[in-house]
Structure 1
Amino acid sequence: MDDAVAVLVVEDDRLIQAMIEDALSDGGFQSALTGSGEEAIELLQANETHYRAIITDINLVGRRNGWDVAQRSREIDPSMPVIYMTGTHAEDWASKGVPNSVLLTKPFAPAQLVTALSNLLNAQAPAAERRDQG
């Protein structure tokens, strides 16, 4: 049985997708990749795979951006860890980002992404354990 944590990655640049997928795999995570906000929201709503975190670019092809994806993920799961990636919209994070999220400014090192994800998941774990015991 595969116990790897499933992470939804929303990025429309194939080179960045590949870098993220490699970094997550090296960190012991599974990744599901999509290039559009619309598809990401469909995947979240279908809930066929219970994603444990979202990593999303801000600028995406289509009508939905990374802010929309994160907001929808939090409507589905209020404690969903979210990591935003951007090269241009960092100043909007305070007003448009969801609480308890992380923003990485491109370019960033793959290890930074894995560390941010691990930190968010570890911060979430005690609350999940309390819910499971209650």
Structure 2
Amino acid sequence: MIPKRRSGKLTFRHWQGFTVMEVLIAGTIVVVGFLALATMFPTGYATVTKSGIQSIGLALAQQRIEFLRNAAYDNITATTESSIPGYSGYTRTTAFLLFNPDIGAKIVTVTVTLPSAGTPTSQPIQLTTIIAK
């Protein structure tokens, strides 16, 4: 629409709507924004999944350490649990080393191997503590 002239001045009061070019540019900006947002979802989902797997692995290692702290000193033995009830794919290994036999102290290391679950294989979770008589 061409603006009307009134006493030598252009008035833009009667212009209505947007031009086709403005609509195309705005649409392009919106589409690019949505595509950028959509590409972040798989990365975010993978990160959340990996964090959940690591949290479970850490909890399983802490659970084993607490179990050994409450067990009798002489019952602390090296074990490998390839199947943990309720946690398929996780492997928990307990190793110990006599730290100071004179005072009765053992260095206990619990290692939990995590399942891959579609994400790149991550480092195992490892906790170490000293347990004395």
User: If the TM-score is normalised by the length of the shorter chain, which range does it land in?
Assistant: under 0.3
Q: Structure 2 length as normaliser, TM-score?
A: 0.24
Higher helix share: 1
If you compute each CA radius of gyration, which structure gives the higher value, 1 or 2? Answer: 2
Structure 1 or 2: larger strand share? 2
